[in-house]
Structure 1
Amino acid sequence: MSSTDDAIAKAREVLDRTSMNYAVGPRRQARESDVGKRLTRAAIADLAIIGAAFSIGLVFGPIGIMGFFLMIVAMLIATAVLLATPTSRPVTYERLQRTDLKALPSQTGRWLDAQRPMLPAPAISVVDAIGVKLNALEPQLATLDDDAPAAAEIRKLVGEQLPEFIKGYERVPSALRGVERNGKTPDQQLIDGLKVIGGQIDEMAGQLAQGDLDALSTRGRYLEIKYQGDTAGV
């Protein structure tokens, strides 16, 4: 095996080990952090409502049964609203284009998470595998200059081609996604294309691990256009 093949093999071993600990990966931690923030906001709001009711009781006299009932209703409404409202803005395709390179894998991962309900069940495991690869890729970008040619290749695949490919699939009418065309259904084309993207991310990770930025910047290997073209043409 060449040194590049060795580096890729080692990178894949790391990804395999990372997948075993995916539950504590960066995006899972981000989701848990978001839930914690929602709970904190709801608790603060409930305390504020109780404090307001107590202050009203001190100034105007006991709030009575009706006042207590209204306080409980206000707490329930505040809790429900705050728990249902994310603490951070959702990641959009437009935001991905402006994302700093070092944060691009995690932001693309968040975007992928939001697309899961719209994807066919067989594609979910492939998307999860891409999420693992993105988690592993992020630390490797810490020392990579945003203006480097290699950075442009990473941004093109992770921040443009991957979301554009999924958006292309989502534009296919749901009734046609299981209909075979040119030997494959759009569902299968989606899965195959995602696997190609996952393989490209693997190669990028291997080249970054080896420090071969020249190879990364000139590799010229992208998502096979036939998958995107076939899906868009349905």
Structure 2
Amino acid sequence: MTEVDQQIERARAAMARISEDYRGQAGATYRAHGKRLKRKATSVGTRLAIICAVDALILLAAGVAGMFIPLGIFGFLAVMLLMAAVTIGIALAPIARAPSEKVLREVDIKALPAKTERWLEAQRPALPAPARGLIDQIGVRLETLSPQLGRLDGREEEAYEVRRLIGEQLPAFVNDYARVPEPLRRVERNGRTPDAELVAGLRLIEQEIADMTARLAQSDLDSLSTRGRFLEIKYRDEAGDR
């Protein structure tokens, strides 16, 4: 193979890696956007259900009261005004706040990925565009990690490592960036801007979460491989004997 051919092969490999990274980031962004829309729809649906339930109770209470005390036109108007006030109050009530850093440090290890993902989602609007894409990818990684933690004892070393990374170091790192004055975030310091520092750190965290997930799944992968070899030896050999 000539030097030109080697350069062409290296260029193709680089383009393939870039394309794969782009597809992975685009897929993560799409999934994260879908989850955000689903959360909004769930919130709206929950509020509507609460409004309907409360208004129904008000009407029921008014009906029962009307059996003993004639409400008249003023009573009817009072009931309508009460229902309107309740409807507006529930509809405009603030959404649930994201968990605090203290909650992330203390929450049960099984609930930590979901809590961390909610915390990150609350920080997302204040981050630069490249970091938002990585936040989406971290959210997908946390979603994949969550089932693994469901079978993990919170006192195991792996649990401590997970908590240190996504419950302590990740929030602290993002908060360090948030405290940098906005005009200085794009000013180079020690060869790198704070924006670039943030992106590089989030990329490392995203990869470390992926590595943690792989390590926690190792026993399951080994078990699957062993069982697969057993099935192959037992039933393929039996089929061959017949």
Conservation of the 8 A alpha-carbon contact between 2:47 and 2:90: yes
Within 2, Cα distance between the matches of 1:83 and 1:153?
41
Figure out how many residues of one structure are paired with residues of the other and give that number: 198
How far apart are 1:69 and its partner, in Å? 4.5
CA contact (8 A) 1:38 1:86 kept: no
- Alignment partner of 2:199 out of 188, 191, 194: 191
Give TM-score scaled by structure 1 length: 0.69
Matched with 1:125 is 133
Range with bigger deviation, 162-171 or 187-196 = 187-196
CA-to-partner distance for each residue in 1:47-102, whole Å, 9 max, x for gaps? 223334444544443442x5545444432332233234468664111011111111
Determine what percentage of the aligned residue pairs are the same residue. Answer: 41
Distance 2:27 2:183 in 1: 37
Q: 1:1-234 residue pairs with structure 2 within 5 A?
A: 19=28, 22=31, 32-64=41-73, 67-85=75-93, 90-211=98-219
Q: Distance in 2 between matches of 1:16 and 1:122?
A: 10
Structure 2's unaligned 5+ residue stretches are 1-20, 221-242
In structure 2, relative to structure 1, the CA distance for the partners of 1:74 and 1:183 (3 Å cut) is: farther
Q: Separation in 2 of the partners of 1:76 and 1:124? A: 39
Following TM superposition, by how much is the alpha carbon of 1:16 offset from its aligned partner in structure 2, in angstroms? 8.2
Q: For 2:156 and 2:34, how far apart are their aligned partners in 1? A: 27
Greater Rg by CA: 2
TM-score of the superposed pair, with normalisation by structure 2:
0.67
Cα distance change of structure 1 residues 40 and 130 upon mapping to structure 2, 3 Å threshold: same
Query: What is the CA distance between 1:128 and its match in structure 2?
Result: 1.0
User: Tell me, what secondary structure is at the counterpart of 2:168?
Assistant: helix
1:175 is displaced (CA, Å) by 3.3
Q: What CA deviation, in whole Å up to 9, does each residue of 1:132-173 have, x standing for no partner?
A: 110000011122221111111111101111111111111122
Q: Distance in 2 between matches of 1:77 and 1:168?
A: 42
Distance in 2, matches of 1:108 and 1:33, equals: 19
Cα gap change, 1:172 to 1:68, in 2 (>3 Å):
farther
**Higher relative contact order (CA closer than 8 Å, sequence separation 6+):** 1
Cα gap change, 1:168/1:43 in structure 2, threshold over 3 Å: closer, same or farther? same
* Aligned mates of 2:155, 2:200 — CA distance in 1: 31
